[in-house]
């Protein structure tokens, strides 16, 4: 039976893979189409819960499981799903293992506790299960074109994954083994269903439900002695199933699904804790996990830009929408009632006077917007802002007398006379513009490209001996605030040192200020050449700012270690 299941599983996936490959090989090149052959679509996430049980050597009892999944469409028929589940399975067998031996004697855990040697054992277990599988899901009604959006979706699934589980027996009543000698007296559980129900009821009353004993495990894997440090084995699995989903809205759908999972490896027949048929023979079948569950599925994505997952959408949607749009178009009518060159279908003014020019909407032109159409306007391009008469002619007042050279000189002389002479005031046009200079990252040395700008600053100072200039240093935001304060101080100091040493400018005429990273020209948190600068401005009442005292010993360097194009500031 195991070989048959494996063969069917391999055959199922081989056929699936060949179908996808053939479909890909047969597809023509759609790269030149204006739209994709399938729309952008949403992801699905789901929560599920339901009845969880193991079909094996022990009759199952009602149990539960839960989990979640993520699903994504590959095309309209196929999708892939990552499914995780947690479950607890219970089992209780009303037919005992026999007082003389049987599989209770072959089971090392039970034999060690004294079962099977004069003390009959009634198989019971509790199994804690954790599984993860990657599944292929095939929608069966994909090519049902009766509805663009389906209300129901039948599907089948198959996949492979892993699991880990722990199984326990309820084998001790406190610290001693149970005495099952009073169970099943004068009853025949093999041939009588009522007797089996009676025995099961008596067992539930007797057992305390602690499940304190770790069940038997495969030889060579774990001790199986119930020690707390026994950990679960990771086992390969195969899953198959089917389901039916019902669409509630474009966001939510409900699904009823059943899955069957087979575990491979040495642990495959020990999910229920039992694998012995007799003291010599093992059972022939692996334990199968069955999970019947209800799923709440939610579609994630922008519903205005993406369709629902493709298993809900008809492959004919795009074609149907295009055909509907074509059918909704009005028939082409070339009638032009007013003869203005714009057909009536597009003409917003169908009674244009003959000979009047119109715009592309068929409305008579009024080029200057004075309320008089061009075909009646004697001045089609009147100057704006003036009243016009009935013929569209603007009433423009006569211009004032032109200004003479003497008038201009008088204004300039009056302006210059109003500027007070003093130690901090500009008195020459040469200093109306003072440039700024820029620095390399983490440098305060003067760049070659900035010498010409400093020459301009020195020229202003030399031609205006009565003014003083504020030299203000700044940085970008690529370091800490205290570090940047010191670096901006160093940059201002370097510019002052250059002006005093190169051009002989008195130090008393230069006022050092710094601003660190708090005043940026470019609003960015990263590197910016424009923010790494020193600005020059005519002083009013400023005074020297001392070196920042914030705990930084040094900031930046005065060397010329460039990378990239040094003239571009990189």
For residue 457, how many C-alpha atoms fall within 13 Å in the half-sphere facing its CB? Answer: 29
**DSSP label of 502:** H
Section 31-51 average pLDDT: 79
Its CATH class, for the domain covering 45-320, is mainly beta
What proportion of the chain, given as a percentage, has pLDDT over 90? 37
* pLDDT class of 561 with cuts at 50, 70, 90: very low
Residue ranges of alpha helices (H) inside 464-538 are 481-503
* pLDDT class of 42 with cuts at 50, 70, 90: very high
Q: What is the pTM of this model?
A: 0.52
Which of 21-35, 219-233, 314-328, 352-366 shows the lowest per-residue confidence on average (mean pLDDT)?
21-35
Q: Are strands 60-73 and 78-92 parallel, antiparallel or unpaired?
A: antiparallel
pLDDT at 227: 46
> What is the signed CA dihedral for 102, 108, 111, 116, rounded to 10 degrees?
-10
Neighbours of 378 (CB within 10 A): 12
pLDDT at 127: 94
**DSSP label of 148:** S
Q: What is the mean pLDDT of the chain?
A: 82
Say if residues 37 and 30 touch (Cβ distance below 8 Å): yes
Section 57-81 average pLDDT: 93
Q: Which CATH superfamily includes the segment(s) 420-568? A: OmpA-like domain (3.30.1330.60)
Tens of pLDDT, residues 255-299: 999 999 999 988 888 999 888 877 777 777 889 999 999 999 999
What CA–CA distance (Å, rounded) separates 120 from 99?
Answer: 4
Nearest CA-CA partner of 517 in 558, 550, 549, 473? 473
Long-range CB pairs of 319-327 (<8 Å, 24+ gap) are 320/148
pLDDT at 174: 85
Q: Which H helix or E strand runs over 245?
A: strand 233-247
* pLDDT class of 445 with cuts at 50, 70, 90: very high
What CA–CA distance (Å, rounded) separates 309 from 42?
Answer: 5
Burial grade of 337 (CB within 10 A; 0-12, 13-18, 19 or more): exposed
**pLDDT above 60 for 244:** yes
* pLDDT class of 555 with cuts at 50, 70, 90: confident
E strands in 108-205: 124-139, 152-169, 172-173, 176-177
pLDDT at 497: 95
Say if residues 333 and 343 touch (Cβ distance below 8 Å): yes
Tens of pLDDT, residues 324-371: 777 777 777 788 787 878 887 888 888 888 878 888 887 888 788 878
What CA–CA distance (Å, rounded) separates 438 from 502?
Answer: 19
Locate CATH 2.40.160.20 in the chain.
Answer: 45-320
Burial call 85-100: b when 16+ CB within 10 Å, e when fewer: bebebbbbbbbbbebe
What proportion of the chain, given as a percentage, has pLDDT over 70? 83
pLDDT at 371: 80
Section 388-414 average pLDDT: 81
Which of 10-14, 123-127, 387-391 shows the lowest per-residue confidence on average (mean pLDDT)?
10-14
pLDDT at 74: 92
pLDDT at 430: 44
pLDDT at 464: 92
pLDDT at 525: 84
Tens of pLDDT, residues 479-497: 888 999 999 999 999 999 9
Nearest CA-CA partner of 173 in 122, 240, 221? 122
What CA–CA distance (Å, rounded) separates 64 from 294?
Answer: 12
3-state SS, residue 34: coil
């Amino acid at each position: 039976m195991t070989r048959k299941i494996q063969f069917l599983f391999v055959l199922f996936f081989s056929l699936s893979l060949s179908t996808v490959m053939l479909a890909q090989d047969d597809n023509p090149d759609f790269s030149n189409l204006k739209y994709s052959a399938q729309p952008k679509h949403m992801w699905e996430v789901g929560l599920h819960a339901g009845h969880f049980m193991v079909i094996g050597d022990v009759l199952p009892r009602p149990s539960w499981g839960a989990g979640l999944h993520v699903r994504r469409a590959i095309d309209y028929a196929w999708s892939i799903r990552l499914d995780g589940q947690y479950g607890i399975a219970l089992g209780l067998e009303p037919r005992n293992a026999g007082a003389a031996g049987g599989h209770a004697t072959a089971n090392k855990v039970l034999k060690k506790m004294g079962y099977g040697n004069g003390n009959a054992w009634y198989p019971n277990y509790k199994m804690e299960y954790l599984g993860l599988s990657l599944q292929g899901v095939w929608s069966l009604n994909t090519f049902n074109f009766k509805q663009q959006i389906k209300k129901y979706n039948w599907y089948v699934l198959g996949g492979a994954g892993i699991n880990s589980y722990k199984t326990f027996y309820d084998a001790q009543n406190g610290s001693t083994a149970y005495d099952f000698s009073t169970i099943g007296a004068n009853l025949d559980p093999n041939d009588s269903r009522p007797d089996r129900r009676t025995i099961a009821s008596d067992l539930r009353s007797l057992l305390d439900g602690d499940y304190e004993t770790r069940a038997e495990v495969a030889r060579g894997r774990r001790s199986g002695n119930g020690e707390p440090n026994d950990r679960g084995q990771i086992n390969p699995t195969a899953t198959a199933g089917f389901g039916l989903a019902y669409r509630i809205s474009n966001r939510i759908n409900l699904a009823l699904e059943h899955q069957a999972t087979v575990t491979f490896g040495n642990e495959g027949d020990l999910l229920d804790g039992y694998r012995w048929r007799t003291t010599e023979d093992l059972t022939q079948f692996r334990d199968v996990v069955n999970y019947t569950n209800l799923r709440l599925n939610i579609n994630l994505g922008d519903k205005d830009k993406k369709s629902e997952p493709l298993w809900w959408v008809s492959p004919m949607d795009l074609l149907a929408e295009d055909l509907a749009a074509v059918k909704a178009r009005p028939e082409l009518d070339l009638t032009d009632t007013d003869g203005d060159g714009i057909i009536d279908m597009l003409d917003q003014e169908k009674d244009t006077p003959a000979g009047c020019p119109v715009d592309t909407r068929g409305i008579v032109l009024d080029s200057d917007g004075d309320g008089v159409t061009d075909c009646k306007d004697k001045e089609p391009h009147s100057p704006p802002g003036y009243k016009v008469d009935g013929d569209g002619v603007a009433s423009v007042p006569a211009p004032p007398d032109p200004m003479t050279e003497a008038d201009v000189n008088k204004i300039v002389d009056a302006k210059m006379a109003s500027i007070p002479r003093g130690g901090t005031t500009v008195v020459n046009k040469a200093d109306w513009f003072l440039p700024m200079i820029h620095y390399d990252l983490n440098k305060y040395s003067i760049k070659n490209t900035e010498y010409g700008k400093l020459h301009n600053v020195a020229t202003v100072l030399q031609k205006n001996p009565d003014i003083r200039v504020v030299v203000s240093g700044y940085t970008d935001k690529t370091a800490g605030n205290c570090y940047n304060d010191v670096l901006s101080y160093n940059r201002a100091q370097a510019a002052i040192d250059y002006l005093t040493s190169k051009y002989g400018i008195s130090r008393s005429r230069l006022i050092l200020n710094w601003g660190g990273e708090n005043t940026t020209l470019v609003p960015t948190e990263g590197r910016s050449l424009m923010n790494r600068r020193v600005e020059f401005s005519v002083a009013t009442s400023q005074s020297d700012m001392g070196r920042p005292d914030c705990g930084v010993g040094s900031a930046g360097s005065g060397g010329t270690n460039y990378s990239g194009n040094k003239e571009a500031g990189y």
